[in-house]
Amino acid sequence: MTLIAETKNLTRRYGTSLAIDNINLEIPQSAIYGFIGPNGAGKTTTMRILTTLLLPTSGQAWVAGHSVTREPLAVRRMVGFMPDFFGVYDNMKSWEYLEFFAAAYGVPAARRSNLIGELLELVDLGHKRDAYVMDLSRGMKQRLSLARTMAHNPELLILDEPASGLDPRARVELRELLKELQALGKTIMISSHILTELAEVCTHIGIIENGHLLASGDVQTIMRSLQPHRIYEVHLLSDLAAAAALVVDMPGVLDVRVLSEAMPPMIQIDHEGDDQSVSAVLQRLISGGAVVTHFAGQVSDLEEVFMRVTAQHVQPQPAGAG
């Protein structure tokens, strides 16, 4: 696995306040890495260190093999950073905005005109080329900012709360754009405290709380580690009790519940085995004469994963706190 970003024992203090504490994260190349945590958890601090905008108190971080402390210029060539809020200039058109930043990134003048057109088309703002930035909607401004981060063709895009303040349609458009960028070979690190924003797009996640990285890895691995056993719902057109009796003593089956009052009627199988043993359960049902119309494991979402991971790390409020 090739890593585009990595940290080792990354720590940052603000005076006596500890913002992040010994964070070790790995972001694989071409991943969409969701950085999940409440406001104040340490997401922005970590991102600012990875973009060389902030020095760590201790520990190390690399982007594409370059140290953020020893090779900051090399890191900046590899990274496009989109903060949670970006400044704009009065009386500047969309193409002028991109022209300004392309020049700042050192893009040759002969290349800029075509580049600006390509970037505007990529973020679906070609029709707003001559529109003033201040007149764009919030969603359009976010897409323009994203285009700006790609002016120097970076390998890693670091997006801090990019969906903040967007309406539902703009959020969907942003998610589709992120998928398109991944298909173009970009690696994306995206932070959010709204889990539903990331659920449909991320390949990997990191969960941070109170400056501590509690979990990090690909989504499926984290899901499995938090669910040592799964519940399978089986819908049947045949006798429920007879079907339950077929599998109750099978290896990996912890419990079987008959839900005759459910709609549709079903049995639930609590199972801790691997995929092979799950397949054996289904085979036993069918070979035993059960008429199965649906067999599927319940799927956890990111909200459930977040709550499980952070359950032991929530700081209790003092009595009387609001």
Residues 49 and 47: their CA atoms lie apart, in Å, by 5
Q: Average pLDDT for residues 42-69, to the nearest whole number?
A: 96
C-beta separation of 54 from 44 below 8 A: no
pLDDT band at 172 (very low <50, low <70, confident <90, very high): confident
For the chain, the straight-line distance linking the first and the last C-alpha, in angstroms and rounded, comes to 46
pLDDT on residue 303: 64
Residue 6 neighbours by CB distance under 10 Å = 18
Residues 107 and 148: their CA atoms lie apart, in Å, by 12
pLDDT on residue 321: 39
| Cα distances (Å, whole numbers) of residue 146 to 10, 27, 139, 143, 318 | 27, 20, 11, 5, 41
Q: Average pLDDT for residues 79-84, to the nearest whole number?
A: 90
Residues 246 and 287: their CA atoms lie apart, in Å, by 10
Q: Would the pLDDT of 173 be above 80? A: yes
Q: Would the pLDDT of 319 be above 50? A: no
b/e string for 222-259 if b means 16 or more Cβ within 10 A? bbeeebeebebbbbbeeebeebbebbeebebbeebebe
1-16 confidence digits (pLDDT tens): 799 999 999 999 999 9
Q: Would the pLDDT of 301 be above 70? A: no
Structural element, H or E, at residue 33: strand 32-36
Residues 317 and 166: their CA atoms lie apart, in Å, by 31
Cβ neighbours of residue 245 closer than 8 Å, sequence gap 6 or more: none
**How far is C-alpha 43 from the chain's CA centre?**
12
Q: Would the pLDDT of 317 be above 60? A: no
Residues of the chain above pLDDT 90, percent: 62
pTM of the model: 0.75
Report long-range pairs for 19-24 (Cβ below 8 Å, ≥24 apart). 19/45, 19/211, 20/45, 20/46, 20/208, 20/211, 21/211, 21/212, 22/59, 22/212, 23/59, 23/208, 23/211, 23/212, 23/213, 24/213, 24/216
pLDDT on residue 107: 92
C-beta separation of 209 from 313 below 8 A: yes
Measuring CA to CA, which residue among 213, 175, 178, 208 is closest to residue 193? 208
213-252 confidence digits (pLDDT tens): 988 988 877 776 666 678 899 999 999 999 999 999 999 9
Q: Would the pLDDT of 302 be above 70? A: no
Decide: helix, strand or coil at residue 37. Answer: coil
Residues 297 and 282: their CA atoms lie apart, in Å, by 12
Residue with token string 């999940």: 36
Cis peptide bond prior to 168, omega within 30° of 0: no
pLDDT on residue 304: 66
pLDDT on residue 40: 87
pLDDT on residue 150: 93
Residues 172 and 178: their CA atoms lie apart, in Å, by 10
Domains in the chain, please, with CATH? 3-224 (3.40.50.300), 228-299 (3.30.70.100)
pLDDT band at 185 (very low <50, low <70, confident <90, very high): very high
